[in-house]
Amino acid sequence: ILLNPKEYHEVTLQLSATKCLCKFMLLSLELCETHAKMLFDLLKNSTFESVRVAIMVLMNGFYLKYPLAFAAYSDDVYGCLRDRSDNVRLAALKTISNLILKEMVKPNGQISEIAFCIIDKHTQLATLATSFFSELAKRQHGETLFNILPDTFSNLVGVKLDEQRQLNEEDFKSVIDFLFKYIFDDPRACRDLAYIMSKLTFNEQSLKGLLHHYDNYRDKLFDNDVYQSFLTILDNAKMNLGAKP
């Protein structure tokens, strides 16, 4: 049924078959790994919204029982945050945030996908995304969030994004504004973040965003290490953008 969706193109039948497959896969790690590709093909290609939602909801059970079985498919899991369906994106965000906050999945740079949700037109999705970052900022005195911010910023600056994921200037500023407020007034943290940012490649839009947030870090520029890191950022930007000194 699942291998022939055109022949059995009926939502109730496809949904029931999908749920049966998931329950079958949960019987053993071997079954889970054997049928993982099929499940993620369904997640990406099923034309039925309810099927994609069901898989994302049931994903909690897979990670609880076999936490490493889907390690190779993390891009596909986070990719559901780009789904055309509001309900699928919402189910994906609920699942991913639940797994991270319960420490079943380690947060990484892919959290930039959640950062995109902050500006989602779907109000419930945007609210859930902001709540996720607020909760993550409380973990280990903010260290958990701080550790993934460099990769998150790197993924947001546009270098690694396809055209559909490029942020306009206003949205970029909104996301950065939101994330910047979680950077605490810890001198060491500021130096570390400035150094890491100096290693990133800034395009014109991201450089404008950095200048737009000058008020957020101008008092940190009195620290020589922070100041030198920002000089490096500007020097690299001149070379990357072809500007004259």
Range of the domain at 33: 1-81
Pair 178, 216: CB distance under 8 Å:
no
Give tens-digit pLDDT for 77-86.
999 999 999 9
61-65, 95-99, 182-186, 220-224: segment of lowest average pLDDT: 182-186
Give tens-digit pLDDT for 62-71.
999 998 899 8
Which one has a higher pLDDT value, 187 or 75?
Answer: 75
| Residue 37 predicted with pLDDT over 70 | yes
pLDDT at 213: 74
| Residue 88 predicted with pLDDT over 80 | yes
pLDDT at 166: 65
Q: 153 and 71, same structural domain?
A: no
Mean pLDDT of 131-143: 85
Residues 6+ apart with CB under 8 A from 117: 81, 89, 93, 125, 126, 128, 129
Percent of the chain with pLDDT over 70: 93
- Of 33, 56, 81, the last residue of a domain is 81
| Residue 235 predicted with pLDDT over 70 | yes
Q: Is residue 94 part of a domain?
A: no
Nearest to 202 by CA among 172, 228, 164, 171: 172
pTM greater than 0.75: yes
Q: 146 and 75, same structural domain?
A: no
Q: Is residue 183 part of a domain?
A: yes
- Of 52, 81, 110, the last residue of a domain is 81
Give tens-digit pLDDT for 161-206.
555 566 777 888 888 888 877 765 567 777 877 887 788 777 777 7
User: Among 21-30, 189-198, 221-230, which range has the highest average pLDDT?
Assistant: 21-30
Q: Is residue 124 part of a domain?
A: no
Tell me the C-alpha to C-alpha distance, in Å, between residue 124 and each of 63, 170, 192: 25, 21, 34
pLDDT at 170: 82
Q: 75 and 145, same structural domain?
A: no
Q: Is residue 112 part of a domain?
A: no
- The SS3 assignment for 200 reads coil
- Of 51, 81, 111, the last residue of a domain is 81
Q: How many independent structural domains does the chain possess?
A: 2
Q: Is residue 227 part of a domain?
A: yes
Q: Is residue 127 part of a domain?
A: no
Q: Is residue 109 part of a domain?
A: no
